[in-house]
Amino acid sequence: MNEGDILGVINLYIAPGHVRDKSEEEFLSIVANTIAGVIVRKMVEEDLRDQEELLRSVVQSTKDAIVTIDGSGSILFWNRGAEGIFGYTEAEVKGHSLTIIIPERFRQAHQIGINKVLDSGKSTRIGQTFELVGLRRGGSEFPIELSLTMGKMHGLDFFTGTIRDITYRRYTEKELQRNIEKLRKTIGGIIQTISMTVEVRDPYTAGHQRRVANIARAIAAEMNLPEETVDGVRMAGVIHDIGKIYVPSDILSKPGKLNDLEFGLIRLHSQIGYDILKTTDFPWPVATMVLQHHERMDGSGYPAGLKGEDILLEARIICVADVVEAISCHRPYRAALGIDTALTEISKYRGTLYDANVVDACLRLFRERGFTFE
Protein backbone atom coordinates (compact mmCIF):
# COMPACT_ATOMS: atom_id res chain seq x y z
CA MET A 1 0.00 0.00 0.00
CA ASN A 2 1.43 3.35 -1.09
CA GLU A 3 0.66 6.84 0.16
CA GLY A 4 -2.20 8.37 -1.85
CA ASP A 5 -3.80 5.03 -2.79
CA ILE A 6 -7.62 5.00 -2.65
CA LEU A 7 -8.94 2.69 0.06
CA GLY A 8 -12.65 3.45 -0.31
CA VAL A 9 -15.33 6.11 -0.78
CA ILE A 10 -17.54 7.84 1.85
CA ASN A 11 -21.01 8.86 0.62
CA LEU A 12 -22.72 11.72 2.54
CA TYR A 13 -26.23 13.16 2.22
CA ILE A 14 -26.28 16.97 2.45
CA ALA A 15 -29.65 18.74 2.84
CA PRO A 16 -30.57 21.19 0.05
CA GLY A 17 -29.26 24.67 0.76
CA HIS A 18 -26.83 23.50 3.45
CA VAL A 19 -23.39 25.05 3.21
CA ARG A 20 -20.50 23.09 4.83
CA ASP A 21 -18.22 25.07 7.08
CA LYS A 22 -14.54 24.39 7.86
CA SER A 23 -15.26 22.48 11.09
CA GLU A 24 -17.42 19.97 9.22
CA GLU A 25 -14.69 19.39 6.63
CA GLU A 26 -12.13 18.83 9.40
CA PHE A 27 -14.48 16.38 11.10
CA LEU A 28 -15.02 14.46 7.85
CA SER A 29 -11.25 14.36 7.32
CA ILE A 30 -10.73 12.91 10.80
CA VAL A 31 -13.43 10.27 10.22
CA ALA A 32 -11.96 9.34 6.82
CA ASN A 33 -8.41 9.05 8.20
CA THR A 34 -9.62 6.98 11.15
CA ILE A 35 -11.48 4.58 8.88
CA ALA A 36 -8.47 4.42 6.54
CA GLY A 37 -6.23 3.58 9.49
CA VAL A 38 -8.52 0.74 10.52
CA ILE A 39 -8.63 -0.59 6.95
CA VAL A 40 -4.83 -0.46 6.58
CA ARG A 41 -4.32 -2.15 9.96
CA LYS A 42 -6.72 -4.93 9.00
CA MET A 43 -4.96 -5.36 5.66
CA VAL A 44 -1.56 -5.57 7.39
CA GLU A 45 -2.92 -8.06 9.93
CA GLU A 46 -4.32 -10.22 7.14
CA ASP A 47 -1.02 -10.02 5.27
CA LEU A 48 0.90 -10.98 8.40
CA ARG A 49 -1.48 -13.88 9.01
CA ASP A 50 -0.98 -15.06 5.44
CA GLN A 51 2.81 -14.82 5.79
CA GLU A 52 2.70 -16.58 9.14
CA GLU A 53 0.57 -19.36 7.66
CA LEU A 54 2.96 -19.69 4.71
CA LEU A 55 5.96 -19.82 7.04
CA ARG A 56 4.26 -22.36 9.29
CA SER A 57 3.40 -24.48 6.25
CA VAL A 58 7.03 -24.42 5.09
CA VAL A 59 8.36 -25.15 8.58
CA GLN A 60 5.93 -28.03 9.07
CA SER A 61 6.58 -29.56 5.65
CA THR A 62 10.37 -29.85 6.02
CA LYS A 63 11.79 -33.21 7.06
CA ASP A 64 14.38 -31.47 9.23
CA ALA A 65 13.51 -30.84 12.86
CA ILE A 66 12.94 -27.18 13.73
CA VAL A 67 12.88 -26.55 17.48
CA THR A 68 12.64 -23.28 19.41
CA ILE A 69 13.51 -22.96 23.11
CA ASP A 70 13.49 -20.04 25.55
CA GLY A 71 16.36 -18.88 27.72
CA SER A 72 15.63 -21.52 30.34
CA GLY A 73 15.84 -24.30 27.78
CA SER A 74 12.10 -25.00 27.63
CA ILE A 75 10.64 -25.99 24.26
CA LEU A 76 8.39 -23.36 22.67
CA PHE A 77 7.99 -24.79 19.16
CA TRP A 78 8.36 -28.31 17.76
CA ASN A 79 7.57 -29.07 14.11
CA ARG A 80 6.45 -32.33 12.49
CA GLY A 81 10.01 -32.96 11.32
CA ALA A 82 11.07 -33.05 14.98
CA GLU A 83 8.27 -35.51 15.70
CA GLY A 84 9.54 -37.81 12.97
CA ILE A 85 13.19 -37.60 14.02
CA PHE A 86 12.90 -37.78 17.81
CA GLY A 87 9.60 -39.65 18.26
CA TYR A 88 7.77 -37.10 20.45
CA THR A 89 4.68 -35.07 19.47
CA GLU A 90 4.63 -31.32 20.04
CA ALA A 91 2.04 -31.76 22.80
CA GLU A 92 4.36 -34.14 24.64
CA VAL A 93 7.39 -31.86 24.66
CA LYS A 94 6.06 -28.29 24.60
CA GLY A 95 7.05 -26.56 27.84
CA HIS A 96 9.50 -29.32 28.75
CA SER A 97 13.28 -29.04 28.81
CA LEU A 98 15.23 -29.65 25.60
CA THR A 99 17.40 -32.09 27.55
CA ILE A 100 14.80 -34.75 26.70
CA ILE A 101 16.58 -35.13 23.33
CA ILE A 102 20.14 -34.63 24.63
CA PRO A 103 22.23 -37.59 25.89
CA GLU A 104 22.83 -37.26 29.63
CA ARG A 105 26.60 -36.81 29.32
CA PHE A 106 26.08 -33.64 27.24
CA ARG A 107 23.29 -31.97 29.26
CA GLN A 108 25.48 -30.00 31.65
CA ALA A 109 27.57 -28.59 28.79
CA HIS A 110 24.34 -27.65 26.98
CA GLN A 111 23.06 -25.58 29.92
CA ILE A 112 26.46 -23.97 30.48
CA GLY A 113 26.49 -22.96 26.82
CA ILE A 114 23.04 -21.35 27.03
CA ASN A 115 23.96 -19.42 30.19
CA LYS A 116 27.18 -18.18 28.62
CA VAL A 117 25.32 -16.87 25.56
CA LEU A 118 22.66 -15.17 27.69
CA ASP A 119 25.31 -13.52 29.87
CA SER A 120 27.51 -12.28 27.01
CA GLY A 121 25.07 -12.08 24.12
CA LYS A 122 27.70 -13.78 21.96
CA SER A 123 28.48 -17.30 20.82
CA THR A 124 30.72 -18.81 18.17
CA ARG A 125 28.01 -21.43 17.65
CA ILE A 126 25.29 -18.99 16.57
CA GLY A 127 24.96 -18.96 12.79
CA GLN A 128 27.21 -22.01 12.44
CA THR A 129 26.48 -25.62 11.48
CA PHE A 130 28.07 -28.36 13.55
CA GLU A 131 27.63 -32.04 14.38
CA LEU A 132 26.33 -33.39 17.69
CA VAL A 133 24.62 -36.48 19.11
CA GLY A 134 20.84 -36.66 19.55
CA LEU A 135 18.65 -38.91 21.71
CA ARG A 136 15.51 -40.60 20.35
CA ARG A 137 12.42 -41.40 22.41
CA GLY A 138 13.46 -45.03 22.74
CA GLY A 139 16.84 -44.04 24.20
CA SER A 140 18.99 -44.67 21.12
CA GLU A 141 21.63 -42.12 20.20
CA PHE A 142 22.27 -40.96 16.64
CA PRO A 143 24.37 -38.32 14.83
CA ILE A 144 22.76 -34.96 14.05
CA GLU A 145 23.73 -31.76 12.27
CA LEU A 146 22.60 -28.56 14.01
CA SER A 147 22.27 -25.00 12.69
CA LEU A 148 21.54 -22.48 15.46
CA THR A 149 20.05 -18.98 15.47
CA MET A 150 19.18 -16.61 18.33
CA GLY A 151 16.59 -13.84 18.64
CA LYS A 152 14.25 -11.89 20.93
CA MET A 153 10.46 -11.92 21.22
CA HIS A 154 8.63 -9.55 23.56
CA GLY A 155 11.98 -8.81 25.18
CA LEU A 156 12.75 -12.47 25.87
CA ASP A 157 15.61 -14.47 24.36
CA PHE A 158 14.95 -17.55 22.28
CA PHE A 159 17.03 -20.04 20.29
CA THR A 160 15.93 -21.87 17.17
CA GLY A 161 17.75 -24.93 15.91
CA THR A 162 17.40 -26.70 12.58
CA ILE A 163 18.35 -30.33 13.19
CA ARG A 164 19.11 -32.91 10.52
CA ASP A 165 19.42 -36.64 11.12
CA ILE A 166 22.73 -37.60 9.44
CA THR A 167 22.65 -41.30 10.30
CA TYR A 168 22.39 -42.32 6.65
CA ARG A 169 25.10 -39.86 5.63
CA ARG A 170 27.48 -41.35 8.21
CA TYR A 171 26.60 -44.84 6.98
CA THR A 172 27.28 -43.97 3.33
CA GLU A 173 30.54 -42.25 4.28
CA LYS A 174 31.71 -45.39 6.08
CA GLU A 175 30.59 -47.58 3.19
CA LEU A 176 32.40 -45.33 0.74
CA GLN A 177 35.57 -45.50 2.83
CA ARG A 178 35.31 -49.29 3.02
CA ASN A 179 34.85 -49.51 -0.74
CA ILE A 180 37.80 -47.18 -1.31
CA GLU A 181 39.99 -49.34 0.92
CA LYS A 182 38.78 -52.47 -0.85
CA LEU A 183 39.50 -50.92 -4.25
CA ARG A 184 42.91 -49.75 -3.06
CA LYS A 185 43.80 -53.27 -1.92
CA THR A 186 42.60 -54.70 -5.23
CA ILE A 187 44.64 -52.19 -7.21
CA GLY A 188 47.62 -52.83 -4.96
CA GLY A 189 47.34 -56.57 -5.61
CA ILE A 190 47.13 -56.07 -9.37
CA ILE A 191 50.09 -53.70 -9.35
CA GLN A 192 52.14 -56.11 -7.23
CA THR A 193 51.40 -58.91 -9.70
CA ILE A 194 52.52 -56.74 -12.62
CA SER A 195 55.68 -55.82 -10.73
CA MET A 196 56.55 -59.46 -10.09
CA THR A 197 56.08 -60.22 -13.81
CA VAL A 198 58.72 -57.63 -14.67
CA GLU A 199 61.14 -58.81 -11.99
CA VAL A 200 60.91 -62.48 -13.08
CA ARG A 201 62.24 -61.45 -16.49
CA ASP A 202 64.98 -59.27 -14.96
CA PRO A 203 66.44 -61.05 -11.90
CA TYR A 204 69.15 -58.42 -11.42
CA THR A 205 66.54 -55.82 -10.63
CA ALA A 206 64.52 -58.07 -8.32
CA GLY A 207 63.10 -55.79 -5.66
CA HIS A 208 64.22 -52.66 -7.54
CA GLN A 209 60.69 -51.41 -8.16
CA ARG A 210 59.63 -52.17 -4.59
CA ARG A 211 62.61 -50.26 -3.19
CA VAL A 212 61.99 -47.33 -5.55
CA ALA A 213 58.36 -47.29 -4.44
CA ASN A 214 59.34 -47.17 -0.76
CA ILE A 215 61.86 -44.38 -1.31
CA ALA A 216 59.42 -42.38 -3.46
CA ARG A 217 56.63 -42.79 -0.91
CA ALA A 218 58.92 -41.58 1.89
CA ILE A 219 60.04 -38.56 -0.16
CA ALA A 220 56.43 -37.61 -0.97
CA ALA A 221 55.49 -37.88 2.71
CA GLU A 222 58.54 -35.81 3.71
CA MET A 223 57.31 -33.11 1.30
CA ASN A 224 53.97 -33.10 3.17
CA LEU A 225 52.01 -34.02 0.06
CA PRO A 226 48.40 -35.20 0.53
CA GLU A 227 47.97 -38.82 1.55
CA GLU A 228 46.25 -39.63 -1.75
CA THR A 229 49.26 -38.29 -3.67
CA VAL A 230 51.67 -40.27 -1.49
CA ASP A 231 49.69 -43.45 -2.22
CA GLY A 232 49.72 -42.71 -5.94
CA VAL A 233 53.48 -42.18 -5.95
CA ARG A 234 54.00 -45.51 -4.19
CA MET A 235 51.71 -47.37 -6.58
CA ALA A 236 53.41 -45.90 -9.65
CA GLY A 237 56.82 -46.63 -8.15
CA VAL A 238 55.97 -50.31 -7.85
CA ILE A 239 55.40 -50.61 -11.64
CA HIS A 240 57.48 -47.75 -13.03
CA ASP A 241 59.55 -50.21 -15.10
CA ILE A 242 56.64 -52.27 -16.43
CA GLY A 243 57.67 -51.35 -19.98
CA LYS A 244 60.77 -53.54 -19.58
CA ILE A 245 58.66 -56.64 -20.26
CA TYR A 246 59.07 -55.74 -23.95
CA VAL A 247 62.86 -55.46 -23.66
CA PRO A 248 64.78 -58.71 -24.37
CA SER A 249 65.90 -60.29 -21.10
CA ASP A 250 69.48 -60.74 -22.34
CA ILE A 251 69.74 -56.96 -22.68
CA LEU A 252 68.31 -56.39 -19.21
CA SER A 253 70.80 -58.81 -17.66
CA LYS A 254 73.81 -57.95 -19.83
CA PRO A 255 76.88 -57.63 -17.55
CA GLY A 256 78.80 -55.30 -19.84
CA LYS A 257 78.18 -51.89 -21.37
CA LEU A 258 75.16 -51.58 -23.66
CA ASN A 259 75.64 -50.57 -27.29
CA ASP A 260 73.58 -47.78 -28.85
CA LEU A 261 70.93 -50.13 -30.20
CA GLU A 262 70.52 -51.88 -26.87
CA PHE A 263 70.36 -48.61 -24.96
CA GLY A 264 67.79 -47.36 -27.46
CA LEU A 265 65.59 -50.34 -26.66
CA ILE A 266 65.98 -49.69 -22.92
CA ARG A 267 64.91 -46.07 -23.43
CA LEU A 268 61.62 -47.25 -24.93
CA HIS A 269 60.45 -48.79 -21.66
CA SER A 270 58.86 -45.65 -20.21
CA GLN A 271 56.78 -45.06 -23.36
CA ILE A 272 55.83 -48.74 -23.53
CA GLY A 273 54.85 -48.65 -19.86
CA TYR A 274 52.62 -45.65 -20.56
CA ASP A 275 50.98 -47.42 -23.51
CA ILE A 276 50.25 -50.45 -21.31
CA LEU A 277 48.75 -48.41 -18.47
CA LYS A 278 47.04 -45.47 -20.18
CA THR A 279 43.67 -47.19 -20.59
CA THR A 280 43.56 -48.36 -16.96
CA ASP A 281 41.44 -46.04 -14.81
CA PHE A 282 43.64 -45.62 -11.74
CA PRO A 283 42.70 -43.05 -9.05
CA TRP A 284 46.08 -41.41 -9.76
CA PRO A 285 47.95 -40.39 -12.96
CA VAL A 286 50.01 -43.59 -12.82
CA ALA A 287 50.54 -43.86 -16.58
CA THR A 288 51.91 -40.31 -16.78
CA MET A 289 54.24 -40.90 -13.82
CA VAL A 290 55.60 -44.01 -15.55
CA LEU A 291 56.00 -42.11 -18.84
CA GLN A 292 57.91 -39.19 -17.29
CA HIS A 293 60.11 -40.82 -14.65
CA HIS A 294 63.21 -40.53 -16.89
CA GLU A 295 62.62 -36.86 -17.78
CA ARG A 296 65.12 -34.36 -16.35
CA MET A 297 64.65 -30.78 -15.14
CA ASP A 298 66.97 -29.35 -17.83
CA GLY A 299 65.21 -31.19 -20.67
CA SER A 300 67.96 -33.78 -21.18
CA GLY A 301 65.76 -36.75 -20.25
CA TYR A 302 63.47 -38.99 -22.29
CA PRO A 303 61.13 -39.77 -23.97
CA ALA A 304 59.82 -36.22 -24.58
CA GLY A 305 62.66 -34.01 -23.30
CA LEU A 306 60.32 -32.20 -20.91
CA LYS A 307 61.64 -29.44 -18.65
CA GLY A 308 60.93 -28.19 -15.12
CA GLU A 309 57.27 -27.83 -14.17
CA ASP A 310 56.17 -29.56 -17.37
CA ILE A 311 57.20 -32.77 -15.63
CA LEU A 312 54.61 -34.12 -13.19
CA LEU A 313 55.76 -33.64 -9.58
CA GLU A 314 55.09 -37.29 -8.81
CA ALA A 315 57.33 -38.28 -11.75
CA ARG A 316 60.10 -36.00 -10.44
CA ILE A 317 59.88 -37.81 -7.11
CA ILE A 318 60.07 -41.27 -8.70
CA CYS A 319 63.01 -40.03 -10.81
CA VAL A 320 65.09 -39.18 -7.73
CA ALA A 321 64.06 -42.39 -5.95
CA ASP A 322 65.02 -44.40 -9.05
CA VAL A 323 68.46 -42.78 -9.25
CA VAL A 324 69.16 -43.28 -5.54
CA GLU A 325 68.18 -46.95 -5.68
CA ALA A 326 70.02 -47.62 -8.94
CA ILE A 327 73.32 -46.17 -7.69
CA SER A 328 73.04 -47.71 -4.21
CA CYS A 329 72.29 -51.26 -5.31
CA HIS A 330 73.88 -53.97 -7.46
CA ARG A 331 73.52 -53.82 -11.24
CA PRO A 332 74.45 -56.42 -13.90
CA TYR A 333 77.26 -54.17 -15.15
CA ARG A 334 78.67 -53.07 -11.75
CA ALA A 335 78.67 -53.64 -8.02
CA ALA A 336 76.56 -51.57 -5.61
CA LEU A 337 78.05 -48.10 -5.01
CA GLY A 338 76.26 -47.39 -1.73
CA ILE A 339 73.88 -44.73 -0.46
CA ASP A 340 76.56 -42.06 0.13
CA THR A 341 77.52 -42.13 -3.55
CA ALA A 342 73.85 -41.93 -4.52
CA LEU A 343 73.24 -38.91 -2.29
CA THR A 344 76.35 -37.20 -3.64
CA GLU A 345 75.02 -37.72 -7.17
CA ILE A 346 71.62 -36.13 -6.56
CA SER A 347 73.23 -33.28 -4.57
CA LYS A 348 75.60 -32.55 -7.45
CA TYR A 349 72.78 -32.23 -9.97
CA ARG A 350 70.20 -30.66 -7.64
CA GLY A 351 68.16 -28.15 -9.66
CA THR A 352 69.69 -29.16 -13.01
CA LEU A 353 68.77 -32.80 -13.56
CA TYR A 354 66.70 -33.31 -10.42
CA ASP A 355 64.00 -31.21 -8.74
CA ALA A 356 65.62 -29.21 -5.92
CA ASN A 357 62.75 -29.66 -3.46
CA VAL A 358 62.62 -33.40 -4.11
CA VAL A 359 66.38 -33.71 -3.62
CA ASP A 360 66.22 -31.73 -0.37
CA ALA A 361 63.46 -33.99 0.96
CA CYS A 362 65.44 -37.08 -0.01
CA LEU A 363 68.61 -35.80 1.69
CA ARG A 364 66.67 -35.05 4.89
CA LEU A 365 65.26 -38.57 4.86
CA PHE A 366 68.64 -40.29 4.78
CA ARG A 367 70.84 -37.80 6.63
CA GLU A 368 68.48 -36.49 9.31
CA ARG A 369 65.68 -39.06 9.66
CA GLY A 370 67.87 -42.14 9.36
CA PHE A 371 65.73 -43.62 6.58
CA THR A 372 66.88 -46.97 5.17
CA PHE A 373 65.54 -49.32 2.52
CA GLU A 374 66.00 -52.99 1.70
39-43, 107-111, 305-309, 366-370: the lowest-pLDDT one: 39-43
- The residue that leads in pLDDT, 288 or 202, is 288
Confidence at residue 30, expressed as pLDDT on a 0 to 100 scale: 79
In terms of Cα–Cα distance, which of 82, 108, 110 is closest to 94? 82
Any idea what the Cα angle at residue 142 is, between residues 89 and 67, rounded to 5°? 40
Residue 15's CB: how many other CB atoms inside 10 A? 5
Confidence at residue 351, expressed as pLDDT on a 0 to 100 scale: 96
Q: What is each CA distance from 35 to 5, 24, 29, 39, 362, in whole angstroms? A: 14, 16, 10, 6, 88
303 prior amide bond cis, ω within 30: yes
Confidence at residue 194, expressed as pLDDT on a 0 to 100 scale: 76
Residue 71 has pLDDT above 80, yes or no: yes
CA distance linking residue 262 with residue 248, whole number of Å: 9
CATH superfamily, region 63-167: PAS domain (3.30.450.20)
What is the SS3 assignment for 295? coil
CA distance linking residue 216 with residue 239, whole number of Å: 12
Residue 107's CB: how many other CB atoms inside 10 A? 16
Residue 231 has pLDDT above 90, yes or no: yes
- The residue that leads in pLDDT, 49 or 338, is 338
Question: What are the extents of the domains in the chain?
Answer: 7-13+20-45, 63-167, 202-369
DSSP annotation of 354: B
Residues 6 or more apart whose Cβ sits within 8 Å of residue 315: 288, 289, 291, 292, 293, 295
Confidence at residue 229, expressed as pLDDT on a 0 to 100 scale: 96
Helix (H) or strand (E) holding 210: helix 208-222
What is the SS3 assignment for 272? helix
CA distance linking residue 368 with residue 20, whole number of Å: 107
CATH architecture of 202-369: Orthogonal Bundle (1.10)
pLDDT tens-digit readout, 161-195:
899 999 999 999 999 889 888 887 888 787 777 77
Query: Going edge to edge, which strands form the sheet with 156-165?
Result: 75-78, 65-70, 156-165, 141-153, 129-135
Residue 119 has pLDDT above 90, yes or no: no
pTM of the model: 0.60
DSSP annotation of 332: T
Number of alpha helices (DSSP H) and beta strands (DSSP E) in the chain: 14, 5
What is the SS3 assignment for 305? coil
In terms of Cα–Cα distance, which of 169, 144, 149, 172 is closest to 159? 149
pLDDT tens-digit readout, 309-319:
999 999 999 99
DSSP annotation of 201: H
